[in-house]
Structure 1
Amino acid sequence: MRSDRPPGRAPGTARAVAAALLAVLMTALLAGAPPAAGAARTGTDGVGSWSVRPAGTADRAAFVMDSAPGAVVKDAVRVSNLSDAPLSFQVYGSDAYNTPRDGALAYRQAGEAQTGLGGWLSLATNALVIPPGRAADIPFTLNVPADATPGSHVGGIVALNNAVEQAGEAAGVDVGVQRAIAVRIQLTVEGPVTPGLAVRSVRVHHRPGGAPFAGARVTLTYTVVNTGNAALRPTVSPRVSGLFGLRHSAFADRTLPLLLPGQSADISADWPDAPGVDHLTASVRVTAPGLPATTAQISRVAVSWPTLGVGAALLAVLAVALGRLRRNRSGANYRVGSAS
């Protein structure tokens, strides 16, 4: 990473900005790193492409293991250089987690504390250079703690390319980015497995149009929480209906990424042609294989102030008209009575 300081900029400030931006970019890349085997990412500026997958001849998309507490599990990971130049890697074990938005599966950086499965991993080497078109198998040991809780523990092995790509400039500093790929490790520790899901914080956000009687945009937000000790792929079925169910929006069913125990995913969905004024009921149904469905529901009155203003004005005009009509009728009756 090269720092081009403008006159008067402190070297420490420039380095700090560059380091912070590099950390942010690496975090974003690791959050989007594909966990599947054979996934390769191609860089720019001469950075090659590579893949990370379980070693051996078996067609494994990820490491899926079962173990008793206190056991030692051995396997190997294969890092392949798919480019035409040597590539240098940092390889390390990492904890997996779900990002709050949409629950995407992500992996922690090398400098972060690995308090779960990532910390149980011991690789034969953490640094290697692979010639072009070649692959390296790295043995690793997974030391499962004796007090490991039953259920799913998920992490990964990350191969970080040491090459730095130039990714533009920010705050007067040339920003570099490093790319990484991870292969998932899903370990089930023996003991009682109690899967569970919950839907929480269901909200209906109603944004009416600016003109009277115009439609509105409704955003449904909710949080899916893994309340058990087993990793699950939940399927959600959201729906918003109007008064008496006359108008409704049934959103498409959606299968979420692998949701880890204790983790959650914040989800949102839009209904662009919702009514401007209505009584809305939102429900979210979540299911997973082997689990009964769980549903959460909320209702609210959706109000469009321009529409209500016009309605109130019309009612006021109607009230005045009815008042005049009554007075006219009363006057006519009085004149008829006087004439008699």
Structure 2
Amino acid sequence: MRAWSTAALAALLVLAPVVAPAMAAETDPVTWTVRTASNEYGSERTNYSYTIDPGGTIYDSIVVANHGVDPVELGVYASDGSTSEDGQLSLLVAGEESHGVGAWITTENPSVTVAAGETATVPFTVAVPADATPGDYAGGVVTSLTVPDADAGVNVDRRLGIRVNLRVGGEIAPALAVEDMAVAWGGGLNPFAGGDATVTYTLHNSGNAAISAQPATHLSGPFGMFGMDAPAVDEVPELLPGESWTQTVTLPGVAPLFALLASTTVTPLVLDASGSTSPIADVSGTAGGPAIPWTLLVIVLLVAVGVYFLFRARGVRKQSAEKRREAEVDAAVAKALEQERVKAGAAAE
């Protein structure tokens, strides 16, 4: 029996507004609770966990308790689940098409009416198709009550349910990949001060088993100099097969080293059929990026331009002086030659 980390969906399912014409009625608080039935699969279970071979079928139930003073009529259905942006299980709303758990679970009745202060048991069947792909799936068995909210002008679908974790038997091949890794550095106007380095990467569950992970990131300058470890981050939430999770890590006070190299090592954690977590081989990724103190480069460039024009001006002045000296020499030579011609002419007379 699998014992996954997420408990009853009562903590996961939020109120989901469904746009519809409103009626003049108040939205009452939720007055019912749900729990798993006690049977051969266990008692006081926090979720439904099954391992079923393709073509297999099992039978289970959900128990609904009405704590209100009036009868309550609830819809009962199953739907597929996926990992949301906040790392929780998100279920499809009623009417959205399911292809896994939500399609394989059929409730005995699509609705149930529970008298005040009473409980009702709703049986359901889990029938895995013969051609189902081995691996892990997640979803939920949901009870829902649609009530009008006159103030908001919508109907509110209040849902409580219990998570279903299903492993289809066959070859289980967990795999995790580090993709789209990048590192960026941002410094301030002070060219000698440090800046924040941001490392971003995506973890992609490329296998067929649900998987979580514990990442660790290291950053260094050229040739491994000035290496530092990134602050520890929380464990990556459990990802279903095919899902991805984008992780961002910020390292403050990183010196402008002109070039940075980031490396991330990730330890994948796989939950096996017995409910225990076991690591598999680490995966890693690397990325490089510039850490250039642009203010310093601008200063250096301005100094270089100033030095260039200074030397150029000195060169121009030097060339001008040399040209003047050459002109003076030429003039003196011409004058001397003219004087010699005059003397030679006078002697001939």
TM-score range, shorter chain: 0.7 to 0.9
CA 1:256–1:134 in 2, change beyond 3 Å: closer, same or farther?
Answer: farther
Q: Matched residues in 2 for 1:235 and 1:167: separation?
A: 45
Match for 1:223 among 193, 202, 220? Answer: 202
Match in the other structure for 2:185: 206
CA 1:240–1:158 in 2, change beyond 3 Å: closer, same or farther?
Answer: farther
Partner SS, residue 202 of structure 1: strand
Partner SS, residue 162 of structure 1: strand
**Structure 1 residues 28-67: aligned runs within 5 Å:** 35-37=6-8, 39=10, 45-56=27-38, 58-67=43-52
User: 1:117 offset after TM fit, Å?
Assistant: 1.6
Q: Matched residues in 1 for 2:194 and 2:136: separation?
A: 46
- Give yes or no for contact 1:210–1:306 (8 Å, CA) kept in 2: yes
Match in the other structure for 2:265: 285
What letter corresponds to residue 127 of structure 1 in structure 2?
S
Match for 1:138 among 108, 111, 122? Answer: 122
Match in the other structure for 2:296: 307
What letter corresponds to residue 97 of structure 2 in structure 1?
A
Q: Matched residues in 2 for 1:203 and 1:66: separation?
A: 39
CA 1:274–1:248 in 2, change beyond 3 Å: closer, same or farther?
Answer: same
Match for 1:151 among 135, 142, 147? Answer: 135
Match for 1:258 among 230, 233, 238? Answer: 238
- TM-score after normalising by structure 1: 0.72
CA 1:298–1:50 in 2, change beyond 3 Å: closer, same or farther?
Answer: farther
What letter corresponds to residue 54 of structure 1 in structure 2?
T
User: 1:132 offset after TM fit, Å?
Assistant: 4.6
- Give yes or no for contact 1:223–1:264 (8 Å, CA) kept in 2: yes
Percentage of matched positions with identical amino acids: 32
Match in the other structure for 1:296: 285
- Give yes or no for contact 1:239–1:251 (8 Å, CA) kept in 2: no
Q: Deviations along 1:297-337, whole A, 9 cap, x unmatched?
A: 1111123423321343355567789x69x99xxxxxxxxxx
CA 1:123–1:247 in 2, change beyond 3 Å: closer, same or farther?
Answer: same
User: 1:124 offset after TM fit, Å?
Assistant: 1.4
- Give yes or no for contact 1:88–1:163 (8 Å, CA) kept in 2: no
Task: Note the aligned Cα RMSD (angstroms).
Answer: 3.3
CA 1:311–1:257 in 2, change beyond 3 Å: closer, same or farther?
Answer: same
CA 1:200–1:294 in 2, change beyond 3 Å: closer, same or farther?
Answer: same
Q: Deviations along 1:181-222, whole A, 9 cap, x unmatched?
A: 332211222211111111111112333335544443333221
- TM-score after normalising by structure 2: 0.70
**Structure 1 residues 1-340: aligned runs within 5 Å:** 35-37=6-8, 39=10, 45-56=27-38, 58-82=43-67, 86-99=71-84, 101=85, 103-165=87-149, 168=152, 174-210=153-189, 212-243=191-222, 244-246=224-226, 248-287=228-267, 288=269, 289-314=278-303
Gaps of 5+ in 1: 1-33, 169-173, 328-340
Gaps of 5+ in 2: 16-25, 270-277, 316-349
- Give yes or no for contact 1:35–1:183 (8 Å, CA) kept in 2: no
User: 1:278 offset after TM fit, Å?
Assistant: 3.6
- Give yes or no for contact 2:141–2:163 (8 Å, CA) kept in 1: yes
Q: Matched residues in 2 for 1:207 and 1:142: separation?
A: 53
Number of residue pairs matched by the alignment: 287
Q: Matched residues in 2 for 1:96 and 1:261: separation?
A: 12
What letter corresponds to residue 221 of structure 1 in structure 2?
T
CA 1:178–1:146 in 2, change beyond 3 Å: closer, same or farther?
Answer: same
Q: Matched residues in 2 for 1:187 and 1:205: separation?
A: 40
What letter corresponds to residue 63 of structure 1 in structure 2?
Y
Q: Matched residues in 2 for 1:214 and 1:125: separation?
A: 67
